């Protein structure tokens, strides 16, 4: 009997190789599926993380915007607060101003009585006679006579004026309590270079209207001291051509000056000059008014400019 | 009646000089003459008049030119006075000298007109410690004469005359 052939054939070898390959391929496929699955899971995780990252970055950016809103909010609150305070001070200043105008009028009215009882009584009589009877007829007089009459009258008037100046040498003193008021100033330098100087006062914006037609009052004098300080500061820094302008800002007197080209230090110089002008003003001392000059950021005085409007310009 | 005997305050001194009060303050600071009590004698005020090159009002007896527009009438007259006094080139004169003594509305009109003409180059404004001076720009003398004569206007003046 022929033994069953146990020798493998080439076909067997080839089949073995094919089986091996199929087996390996199957294993690889399984591994590939597992790797693909892991990749998909990681990609999903990454997408989720990126989404979270974007959300957090957006939230983080909102803090910057909120910080800017906080800054703007503070500026606006300061602006409103400054003007509320100054407006309240305006009322007190108006009252003190009216008190002093009345007191000055009373003193002026008493002058005639005081002069009539003094060693200048006869000159007072001459003066009044001139004003009532002679002055209206001056134009009709011959020139030579008119000169003599006027010359004599001027001598009489000069003597009376000197006595009046002595009698009214001190400013009228206020009887009310001391007032402490503020004047707020700023130098606007949007690009770091000064452009505009502004001072806001507790003086009513309308206080200087028709100044020729009403008695001078404390409000006018306070404003004059502010203007004095502005010119002193500007001249000290070489800004000789500066011109102040005044107007109303929320019903309060604001005094401004174009200070383009001003050196740094203008705000500090202005602060010093304001303090000195107020301290040295006898009329303010007599009025029992103490003024404090407060330097602030320009936005707090001028208010915030609407950025949309700004862009539109 | 005794008000004439009282010392002048700031506004009294300003009125006497024909200046706005704040312009008076400027002059006082510029001449180091700011008083501690804001009171002035007539001698002090009259002295400042000379030091600041202020002039007596120009407008006494001035005949306004014939013009249907009263605003243009006044501006033409002001330019005519400026030319008539020889302020062409050179240092010129204080801008407030041009309108001293006029009602406040006329003063404002003339100031605006002078500034408008300066913006257009026909007048020259020279700011200084004692205030702003104005003069006719020499190259524009002919044009300014024409404007004073009513022969032409500038676009800025036309806008001003609309009121």
Q: What is the pLDDT of residues A3-52, one digit of tens each?
A: 556 788 999 999 999 999 999 999 999 999 999 999 999 999 999 999 99
Q: State whether B22 and A283 contact (CB < 8 Å).
A: no
A190 versus A293: which is more confidently predicted?
Answer: A293
Q: What percent of chain A has pLDDT over 90?
A: 76
Handedness of CA A230, A232, A236, A242 (dihedral sign): positive
Per CB-CB distance under 8 Å, the chain A contacts of B132 are: 241, 243
For B5, the closest of A161, A224, A240 (CB atoms) is A161
Within an 8 Å CB–CB cutoff, is residue B56 touching chain A? Answer: no
pLDDT at A5: 61
Residue for token digits 């400019």?
Answer: A305
Name the band, by pLDDT with cuts 50, 70 and 90, for residue A66: confident
Per CB-CB distance under 8 Å, the chain A contacts of B5 are: 111, 127, 157, 160-161, 164
Q: State whether B21 and A111 contact (CB < 8 Å).
A: no
Question: Is the overall model pTM greater than 0.80, yes or no?
Answer: yes
Name the band, by pLDDT with cuts 50, 70 and 90, for residue A178: very high
What is the average pLDDT across A113-117? 91
ipTM computed for the complex: 0.91
Per CB-CB distance under 8 Å, the chain B contacts of A168 are: 6-7
Strand pairing class (A196-204; A244-249): unpaired
Determine contact, residues A69/A182, Cβ cutoff 8 Å.
no
pLDDT at A310: 43
User: Nearest CA to B54 among B78, B83, B20, B80?
Assistant: B20
Name the band, by pLDDT with cuts 50, 70 and 90, for residue A308: very low
H-assigned helices in chain A: 10-116, 121-129, 143-167, 218-236, 266-279, 282-286, 298-302, 307-312
- A245's enclosing H/E stretch is strand A244-249
Per CB-CB distance under 8 Å, the chain A contacts of B1 are: 112, 128, 131-132
pLDDT at A303: 87
Q: What percent of chain A has pLDDT over 70?
A: 96
Measured between alpha carbons, how far is A82 from B135 in angstroms, rounded to an integer?
43
Name the band, by pLDDT with cuts 50, 70 and 90, for residue A309: very low
Name the band, by pLDDT with cuts 50, 70 and 90, for residue A312: very low
Q: State whether A212 and B15 contact (CB < 8 Å).
A: yes
Residues of chain B with pLDDT below 50 are none
pLDDT at A231: 98
Q: What angle do CA B147, B150, B155 make, to 5 degrees?
A: 55
For B10, the closest of A108, A220, A231 (CB atoms) is A220
Determine contact, residues A283/A221, Cβ cutoff 8 Å.
yes
pLDDT at A18: 94
Per CB-CB distance under 8 Å, the chain B contacts of A235 are: 29-30, 129
What average pLDDT is seen over chain A? 91
Selected residue of A153, A241, A269, A285 to mutate for chain B interface (largest B Cβ count, 10 A): A241
Measured between alpha carbons, how far is A277 from A266 in angstroms, rounded to an integer?
16
Cα nearest neighbour of A127 on chain B: B2
What is the average pLDDT across A61-70? 84
pLDDT at B108: 93
Q: What is the pLDDT of residues A224-264, one digit of tens each?
A: 999 999 999 999 999 999 999 999 999 999 999 999 989 98
Per CB-CB distance under 8 Å, the chain B contacts of A156 are: none
Within an 8 Å CB–CB cutoff, is residue A136 touching chain B? Answer: no
What is the average pLDDT across A215-225? 95
pLDDT at A313: 39
Tokens coding A55 = 């959300």
Strand pairing partners for B106? Answer: none
B14: Cα within 13 Å, side-chain hemisphere: 24
CA-based nearest distance A311→chain B, Å: 27
């Amino acid at each position: 009997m022929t033994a069953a052939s146990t020798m493998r054939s080439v076909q067997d070898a080839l089949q073995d190789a094919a089986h091996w390959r199929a087996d390996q391929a199957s294993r690889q496929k399984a591994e590939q599926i597992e790797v693909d699955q892991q990749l998909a899971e990681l990609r999903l995780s990454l997408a989720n993380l990126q989404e979270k990252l974007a959300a957090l970055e957006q939230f983080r950016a909102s803090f910057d915007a909120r910080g800017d809103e906080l800054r703007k909010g503070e500026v606006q609150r300061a602006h409103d607060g400054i003007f509320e305070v100054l407006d309240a001070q305006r009322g007190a200043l108006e009252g003190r101003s009216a008190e002093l105008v009345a007191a000055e009028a009373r003193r002026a009215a008493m002058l005639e009585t005081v002069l009539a009882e003094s060693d200048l009584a006869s000159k007072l009589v001459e003066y009044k006679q001139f004003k009532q009877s002679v002055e209206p007829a001056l134009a009709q007089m011959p020139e030579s006579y008119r000169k003599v009459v006027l010359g004599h009258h001027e001598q009489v008037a000069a003597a009376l004026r000197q006595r009046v100046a002595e009698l009214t040498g001190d400013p009228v003193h206020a009887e009310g309590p001391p007032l402490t008021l503020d004047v707020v100033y700023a130098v606007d330098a949007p690009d770091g270079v000064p452009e505009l100087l502004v001072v806001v006062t507790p003086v009513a914006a309308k206080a200087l209207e028709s100044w020729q037609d009403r008695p001078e009052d404390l409000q006018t004098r306070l404003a004059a001291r502010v203007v004095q300080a502005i010119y002193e500061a500007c001249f000290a820094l070489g800004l000789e051509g500066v011109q102040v302008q005044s107007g109303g800002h929320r019903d309060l007197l604001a005094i401004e000056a174009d200070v383009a080209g001003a050196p740094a230090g203008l705000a500090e110089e202005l602060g010093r000059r304001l303090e000195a002008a107020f301290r040295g003003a006898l009329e303010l001392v007599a009025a029992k008014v103490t003024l404090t000059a407060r330097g602030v950021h320009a936005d707090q005085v001028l208010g915030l400019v609407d950025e949309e409007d700004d862009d539109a310009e | 009646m005794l008000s004439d005997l009282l010392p002048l305050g700031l506004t009294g001194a300003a009125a006497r000089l024909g200046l706005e009060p704040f312009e008076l303050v400027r002059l006082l600071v510029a001449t180091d003459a700011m008083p501690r009590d804001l009171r002035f004698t007539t001698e002090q005020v009259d002295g400042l008049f000379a030091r600041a090159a202020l002039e007596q009002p120009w407008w006494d007896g001035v005949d306004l030119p014939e013009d249907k527009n009263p605003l243009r009438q006044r501006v033409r007259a002001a330019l005519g006075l400026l030319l008539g006094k020889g302020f062409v080139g050179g240092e010129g004169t204080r801008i407030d000298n041009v309108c001293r003594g006029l009602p406040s509305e006329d003063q404002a009109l003339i100031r605006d007109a002078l500034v408008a003409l300066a913006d257009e180059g026909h007048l020259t404004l020279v700011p200084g410690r004692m205030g702003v001076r104005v003069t006719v720009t020499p190259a524009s003398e002919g044009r300014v004469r024409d404007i004073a004569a009513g022969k032409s206007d500038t676009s800025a003046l036309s806008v001003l005359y609309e009121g």
